[in-house]
Structure 1
């Protein structure tokens, strides 16, 4: 937590998802939100200042599972929620094996449900 706010990174190759989540989450005065459309850039930028990462699995530059693995190898204390529209049990298991805290499906049931999941995950760290 930085300046009393949780720092959240959103990593997704779909600009609509990035914009929608950023606008919605920025309404919460407890969050500071950064967005990344390229997972390679995200992995090199995200550090211990971040509390949470929302990461898509299917991205062209690097898939989210590989990005998650690289992020976890940096040994930073960050929670990760994986997002995807294409779920398989194998992806869920790999996400958890590589350090993801939770997994949510796109399209989202609602943005409020995403916010609730984020709150739950952040509270797990306290």
Structure 2
């Protein structure tokens, strides 16, 4: 079973993603509304994939991903953003993000396909 961490300060997004991605029993999912708690868990556990929002309190997703990549340079990460501007995409590419999801999600099938692709299923 693949392990996924989902980090987003919006509880409704965490709930939607967890329920949708859990329905086929392919993933063990940890959710975090606090990015600093997520970082603590990522230091202790190995995740096959991390889904991370960009805009969060305490620390934004870009800074969080930089910290994650310092400890785990090969970590697979998909960013979640309501801001799919070209400069954000370029910034994410520069820190080693694997893919992007834009909020609101247009299709949960697209979300699932990106996740499955990222973990090699």
- TM-score tier by shorter-chain length is over 0.9
Match of 1:69 among 66, 72, 78: 66
Unaligned runs of 5+ in 1: none
Does the aligned pair in 2 maintain the 1:7–1:31 contact within 8 Å?
A: yes
Aligned residues: 120
CA RMSD of aligned residues (A): 1.4
Q: Which runs of 4+ in 1 moved over 6 A?
A: none
Equivalent position of 2:106 in the other structure: 109
The answer to whether the aligner puts 1:78 opposite 2:49 as a matched pair is no
The corresponding residue for 1:30 is 26
Report how far residue 77 of structure 1 moved. 3.5
1:72-109 deviations in Å (ceiling 9; x for gaps)? 00025320000111122111111111111001111111
Aligned: 1:9 with 2:10: no
Deviates more, 1:6-15 or 1:104-113: 104-113
The unaligned stretches of length 5 or more in structure 2 are none
Specify the alignment match of 2:115 in structure 1. Answer: 118
Q: In structure 1, the residue corresponding to 2:106 is in which secondary structure?
A: coil
Q: Establish whether residue 87 from structure 1 lines up as the match of residue 102 from structure 2.
A: no
